[in-house]
Amino acid sequence: MLCSITRRAALAALAGLVTSTRADEVKGFRLATFSAEVTPPLGHPLLAGATVTPNAKRIDDPLFALGFVLSGGDRPVVVCSIDWCEVRNDAYDRWRDVLARVAGTTRERVLVTSIHQHDAPLPDLEAQRILESHKAKAKIFDLDFHEQCVQRTARSLKDGLSKARPVTHLGLGLGKVEKVASNRRFRTKAGKLSFDRSSMSGGQAEQRDAGEGQIDPLLRTLSFWDGNRPVCALHAYAVHPMSYWGTGFVTCDFPGLARKRRQADDPSVHQIYASGASGDVTAGKYNDGSPTNRAVLADRVYQGMRAAWKATRRVPLTKLEFRSVPMRFVPRDTAGFKIAEMTQALSHATPSKQCLAALGLSARKRFDAKQPVDLPVLDFGAAQVVLLPGESYVHFQLLAQGLRPESFVLTMGYGESAAGYVAPDRAWEENDGNLALWCWNAPKTAEKVVTEALRKALKAK
């Protein structure tokens, strides 16, 4: 119900938008774009070594950090989307600090998000240091490679600043994506509640035949224009971006392939894709995990991008306000997540267990130190860009839209990811099995934290 309401509100806002164009309101906005390759070397760990996923064996697609710097407001803001699984803890801070210094802004104004495909790197520098200090054989990330990627991206950003272009208008577009997203949560034919619709379970009748569940079917495209010339497009859609994984074949997967097709359509428009809040949304209903289905899913997302572009309405860019609300997550301390247990697991015979323990200890260190996780919003008046932490469930994306029903709200997920899954209380009450491992915040605590932060950041009435 919430999804249909927010969809109607978004379409109505898009159709009836009126923005003042008085000369004294027009700002001198400039936009710089950047792109840097961040493909891991062969043999590098993928998904932080925390599952059965092998290290990188083959490069199917090069991976990139793509973004823009927008100046003209109080201070510049940066958006950077990385073709990695996640960026966690001090690795996330490192990206923001370095890019902020080059862009001449503050850490909070750098919005870093990850696409979240699984056959890709996942850095957490503190977790890697924990493994090394305990002489564990497992490895999460190569620290030198991480710094090379950060510096390479920073150089591209600096170069982009010298080529910044004026931007005068925003473009707001909505496109429906057909037969891609489905919620992990579904009811079996017997009426039993299940949460095991994975990224590639469409070959099983029960997972395939059940309804889509709670999703956001709309892909949103926010674009920046110099007069009638488009400069940059930011697309966001809520789905786990895996067609098949666990192969060791490094890939940007189907959203990355869709983005490449859009880039080829018009090379002069810088194309960026961000995964929406999709901790509980996969392609499972429509994906059987076969390699051939990757191209099918890519085409469906691409068609959604094209539809959003065709439907784009331009409005004058007259304002940019930045707001950020610090969130403090409660660390998980249930069985298996206690400090003593995770420390002991660093000596486990299974490398993936060692990696999970190190990731948990890294998150615990951050949360115990009361170091906040930022929830930033770029507010253009006609539109807002929201960045949610970690694997936030789609509930929070729909909530953000519902808090500003008159506006165009583009939500990105997979920001600072130390918390892992960020789930509403209902998921805990229903015993969502996905929360058993990849979740380092305490049960039934995140919903209140994120909801209050969204209300403040979006200035909800």
Q: What is the pLDDT of residues 231-269, one digit of tens each?
A: 999 999 999 999 999 999 999 999 999 999 999 999 999
User: Of 243, 235, 259, 166, which is closest to residue 202 (Cα–Cα)?
Assistant: 243
Is residue 189's pLDDT more than 60?
yes
pLDDT range class, residue 45, cuts 50, 70, 90: very high
DSSP letters spanning 414-453: -SS-TTBEE--HHHHHTT-GGGGTSB-B-TTTHHHHHHHH
pLDDT of residue 295: 98
Assigned domain for 196 exists:
no
Count other Cβ atoms within 10 Å, centred on residue 246.
17
DSSP letters spanning 15-41: HS------GGG----EEEEEEEE-PPP
CB 287 within 8 A of CB 240: no
Is residue 16's pLDDT more than 50?
no
- Domain encompassing residue 12: 2-18+29-184+214-457
Is residue 151's pLDDT more than 90?
yes
Summary mean pLDDT of the chain: 94
CB 322 within 8 A of CB 73: yes
Is residue 222's pLDDT more than 80?
yes
Assigned domain for 253 exists:
yes
Extract the tokens encoding 314: 């331009």
Assigned domain for 402 exists:
yes
SS3 76: coil
Assigned domain for 421 exists:
yes
Assigned domain for 24 exists:
no
Exposure string for 432-449, b = 16+ CB within 10 A, e = fewer: bebbeebbbbbbebbbeb
CA–CA distances in Å: residue 138 to residues 8, 119, 338, 362, 377: 49, 17, 20, 15, 37
pLDDT of residue 27: 55
pLDDT of residue 71: 97
- Which of 22-31, 65-74, 342-351, 402-411 is the least confident region? 22-31
Burial class (CB in 10 A: 0-12, 13-18, 19+), 208: middle
Distance, CA of 110 to CA of 128 (rounded, Å): 24
Place of tokens 């099983």: 204
Region 61-65: mean pLDDT is 97
Distance, CA of 145 to CA of 277 (rounded, Å): 28
Distance, CA of 455 to CA of 16 (rounded, Å): 24
pLDDT of residue 21: 30
Extract the tokens encoding 242: 């895996």
CA–CA distances in Å: residue 207 to residues 186, 191, 217: 8, 13, 18
Assigned domain for 191 exists:
no
Region 136-149: mean pLDDT is 97
Burial class (CB in 10 A: 0-12, 13-18, 19+), 94: middle
Q: Please give the tally of structural domains in the chain.
A: 1
Q: ∠ CA(16), CA(22), CA(28), 5° rounding? A: 105
pLDDT of residue 379: 98
CB 302 within 8 A of CB 261: yes
Distance, CA of 461 to CA of 154 (rounded, Å): 38
Assigned domain for 201 exists:
no
Region 281-309: mean pLDDT is 97
Percentage above 90 pLDDT, the chain: 92
pLDDT of residue 310: 98
The number of angstroms, rounded, from the C-alpha of 95 to the middle of its chain's C-alpha atoms is 15
Assigned domain for 190 exists:
no
- Which of 3-17, 305-319, 346-360, 425-439 is the least confident region? 3-17
